[in-house]
């Protein structure tokens, strides 16, 4: 039995359990965020996100238009409305070709139409996704579940796209730098505190030393860096 689902017109990998025990084990892994799901998509526009970029929204289903069709929309409030659910993904551009971009996406939540809505909201609707502002395309929606990682096991399947839609390169080239999407945001402040503690006797700012390391090597966001410096200031200068 299928353990999760793919949106209609989305191709690619689907987890299926052959026994009840397998279905239960895989379902528990999904619930515990123990399954990594990566997608490939062609989007309209020239995407400049060569480094992984995390997108955060609150999504809700709405009835729109004179015909009363249902669509998923992104809320405008940062905290989300009562019927809005948090949606999160990380996206990285792999290549740009003739005004369109091939992007790699990792889901952190599994909301209906999540990828389509979140990218469309940033001006990058999916090719073939007329519902959310994308151009029509022969062959349909260009969205494919390309990789599933369950524990230590990884499953891959390149999309069957032909012609200009065929991805260049190998699966090994389609990846996310681990430090940029899987390290907890609490790690930089903790490391900063340790470094600050051992360098404080010499009057050296551990947070200052860590700043280039965080930004250039780990690729942490400004939010994480600010948290690092704030924690350093609290412990090194309690009265400041």
Instruction: Give the residue numbers annotated as catalytic, written as ranges.
Output: 7
Rounded Cα–Cα distance for residues 118 and 111 (Å): 10
Longest pairwise C-alpha distance within the chain: 70
Asked if 90 and 182 count as a contact pair (C-beta separation under 8 A), the reply is no
Distance of CA 163 to the CA centre of its chain: 27
Residue 48 has φ and ψ, to the nearest 5°, of -105, 10
Rounded Cα–Cα distance for residues 67 and 141 (Å): 23
Residues 6+ apart with CB under 8 A from 56: 86, 87, 88
């Amino acid at each position: 039995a299928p353990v999760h689902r793919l949106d209609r017109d989305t191709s690619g990998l689907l987890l299926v359990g052959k026994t009840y025990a397998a279905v239960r084990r895989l379902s528990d892994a999904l619930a515990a965020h123990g399954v990594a799901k990566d997608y490939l998509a062609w989007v309209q526009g020239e995407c400049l996100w060569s480094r992984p970029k995390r997108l955060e929204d609150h999504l809700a289903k709405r009835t729109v238009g004179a015909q009363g069709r249902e669509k998923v929309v992104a809320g405008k409030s940062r905290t989300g409305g009562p019927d809005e659910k948090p949606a999160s993904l990380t996206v990285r551009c792999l290549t740009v070709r003739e005004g369109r971009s091939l992007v790699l996406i990792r889901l952190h939540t599994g909301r209906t139409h999540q990828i389509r809505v979140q990218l469309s909201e940033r001006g990058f609707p999916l090719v073939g996704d007329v519902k959310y502002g994308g151009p029509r395309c022969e062959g349909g929606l260009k969205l494919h579940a390309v990789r599933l990682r369950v524990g230590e096991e990884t499953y891959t399947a390149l999309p069957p796209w032909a012609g200009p839609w065929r991805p260049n390169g190998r699966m090994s080239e389609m990846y996310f730098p681990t430090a940029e999407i899987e390290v907890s945001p609490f790690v930089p402040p903790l490391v900063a505190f340790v470094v600050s503690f051992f360098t404080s006797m010499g009057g050296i700012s551990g947070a200052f030393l860590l700043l280039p390391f965080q930004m250039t090597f780990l690729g942490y966001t400004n939010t994480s860096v600010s948290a690092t410096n704030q924690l350093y200031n609290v412990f090194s200068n309690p009265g400041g």
